[in-house]
Amino acid sequence: PLQYEDLVCFRDRNPGAPHHYLVVPVEHMGNCKTLKAEHIPLVKRMMEVGKAVLQKNNFSDLNDVRMGFHWPPFCSISHLHLHVLAPASQLGFLSRLYYRINSYWFIT
């Protein structure tokens, strides 16, 4: 795991893409439903860490990345975590469903 100030990043244990990381606040937070306007800087920082980890792992095409949150009740963990998947163009069939942009269960 990589630690960035108040965030931690690690590989997803069940990857949906060649690069699949979770960016998680160290301090406990609920899920994406509990986010408010004051959390915008945190979410932006989570996305920046996701991009930095991809670049650190030699993935540079930041136009081929999917980032987002699973919408409750479709998340197995009640702690905020951002999915970072790349390359998005290589998501398998199930992953394309599971991480579908702005669906009922996954929001970008």
| pTM for the whole structure | 0.92
Query: Active-site positions?
Result: 81
* pLDDT tens per residue, range 14-25: 999 999 999 999
Q: Give dist(CA 40, CA 74) in Å, integer.
A: 22
CATH topology of domain 2-107: HIT family, subunit A (3.30.428)
Q: Where are the beta strands (DSSP E) in 1-108?
A: 2-4, 7-11, 19-25, 66-70, 82-86, 106-107
CB atoms inside a 10 Å sphere around CB 15: 12
- φ, ψ at 64 (rounded to 5°): -115, 45
Domain residue limits, the chain? 2-107
pLDDT, position 102 = 82
* pLDDT tens per residue, range 25-67: 999 888 888 899 999 999 999 999 999 999 999 999 999 999 9
